[in-house]
Amino acid sequence: MLATNELDTALLDDETILQAYKAQNVPVERGFRFLKDPLFFANSLYLEKPQRIMALLMVMALSLLVYALAEGWVRQELKKQDQSIPNQSGKPKQTPTLRRIF
């Protein structure tokens, strides 16, 4: 489901919204996949209090924001300097994931 605050479909139709969503550099699904990754260690925590669960969710969301910002910055710099980083098969790529860079 995609949502917008623009209610006038003449200004912003469904197809345009979908294209803008797909054109994002950091897809939302990949970000949440990062949060679910066992390397993130969030699944090994057991929390009972709602306040602690909310705090963990805030930390996770902030870490995802930092991750996305860092990945975007690296990609911009690679593009600006016309550089690339080899992917797993050794082919040059200007849009690596931050995990690949680490």
Residues 4-30 have pLDDT tens digits of 888 888 888 889 888 887 777 666 667
- Report the amino acid identity of residue 62: L
Collect contacts of 70-73 with beta carbons under 8 A, ≥24 apart: 70/98, 71/25, 71/26, 71/97, 71/98, 72/25, 72/26
Res. 48 pLDDT band, cuts 50 70 90: confident
Q: What are phi and psi of 93, to 5 degrees?
A: -140, 135
Task: List, for residues 55-80, the tens digit of each pLDDT value.
Answer: 888 888 888 888 888 888 999 999 99
